[in-house]
Amino acid sequence: MSLPIPPILVYALRRLLQAVPVVILIMICTFVLLKLAPGDTVDALVGDMGGADAAFIARLRQEYGLDQPVWVQLWLYMSKLATFDFGWSFVHEQPVSRILLDRLGTTLMLMATSLSLAFFIGCTLGAFAARRAYSLTDNAISTLGLVFYATPSFFLSLMMILLFSVKLGWLPVGGIQTIAAFYTGWDHVWDVARHLIMPTAALSLIYLSFYLRLMRASVLEVADLDYVRTARAKGAGEARLMIHHIMRNALLPVVTLVGLQFSAVLGGAVVVETIFSLPGLGQLAYQAVIQRDLNTLMGIIFLSSLIVVLVNFLTDLLYARLDSRIELK
């Protein structure tokens, strides 16, 4: 007798099949939109060279396959993408896959750190404010969250550089490490951590306000439900009520927001990485747009789509873990 397939495996396979057409549609739409935009890779290369005659430009377009119809270029690109061949970067003069692998670690480290800090600190402050609702503490925390929400990330980044790097000299201005120091071991880890303090703070403080406000409202709503009042009437302490009864259910909308906002954090990383000169996907995407490096930009979008799909899948699993009423069907 064959063993039954675990529900989690069935759910994972179904979500994977659902994600394939979504990613394909994203890539097709992005490719067409980029082709409709004025200019191409040859225009950028010729501009860097200071100009060229029409015959040379036509020869370059023929060499790069840009003289063919858009649908032919799309078919050729999607055929290569099916084998995870991202093509060649004519700007960086190396395979796009190698460039992406070199930059991926920095972006994932920045996003994971920023989102984790925003989630845990925001949830903690939100729950703390809800337990002291309408008090001076609650008003101070809510006002602080509103200030963070209203402050653009680029302004916050520049102000941090001015204060902590220029005025106080505590933190490095930009980059991911001190190149001339040749640190190894824990010294290298500490050096990278120092370089990531300001970018992480600039990216996380904005999203921290979302989780703070949502967690406060969610805790206030759950605290008034019947099962919480019943547990309190049976003599359950406030700490047990908060941890075992209120927090688990109050976290459900916050966890949902994490999955929805991951793509927004990825977009915010473009600004932060550019300001702090971090060698990540965000800065690479900005350079690819400016230099019209289509293959590199398409590779970044494809990789970002896969990351967002994976994060949403993990969010659904965590959601089901927090609420036992949800089944992975």
pLDDT digit string, tens, across residues 247-265:
777 877 787 777 777 777 7
**What's the rounded mean pLDDT across residues 194-223?**
86
Confidence band for 188, pLDDT divided at 50, 70 and 90: confident
Confidence band for 106, pLDDT divided at 50, 70 and 90: confident
**What's the rounded mean pLDDT across residues 159-183?**
83
pLDDT at 309 over 80: yes
Q: Which of 113, 169, 156 is nearest to 272 (CA)?
A: 156
- Rounded CA-CA distance 53/282 in Å is 34
Decide: helix, strand or coil at residue 169. Answer: coil
Q: What is the DSSP string of 283-301?
A: HHHHHHHHHT-HHHHHHHH
Q: Which of 98, 99, 100, 142 is nearest to 122 (CA)?
A: 142
**What's the rounded mean pLDDT across residues 9-30?**
83
Q: Phi, psi at residue 88, to the nearest 5°? A: -115, 135
Per cent of the chain over pLDDT 70 is 87
| pTM for this model (two decimals) | 0.78
CATH number for the domain running over 104-322: 1.10.3720.10
Confidence band for 203, pLDDT divided at 50, 70 and 90: confident
Please report, as a single letter, which amino acid is at residue 101.
L
**What's the rounded mean pLDDT across residues 236-244?**
71
Phi-psi region of 95 (alpha: psi -120 to 50; beta: other; left: phi over 0): beta
Q: What is the pLDDT of residue 323?
A: 63
pLDDT at 85 over 70: yes
What digits encode the pLDDT tens for the residues 124-159? 888 888 888 888 888 888 888 888 888 888 888 889
Decide: helix, strand or coil at residue 152. Answer: coil
Adjacent-strand bridge partners of 285: none
Q: What is the pLDDT of residue 50?
A: 66
- Rounded CA-CA distance 210/145 in Å is 8
pLDDT at 32 over 80: yes
Each domain of the chain, given as residue ranges in start order, spans 7-96, 104-322
pLDDT at 6 over 80: no
What digits encode the pLDDT tens for the residues 279-290? 888 888 888 888
**What's the rounded mean pLDDT across residues 21-42?**
83
What average pLDDT is seen over the chain? Answer: 80
Q: In sequence order, which residues have a C-beta less than 8 Å from that of residue 39 and are 6 or more positions away?
A: 292
Q: What is the pLDDT of residue 325?
A: 59
Q: What is the pLDDT of residue 1?
A: 46
Helix (H) or strand (E) holding 89: strand 88-89
pLDDT at 202 over 50: yes
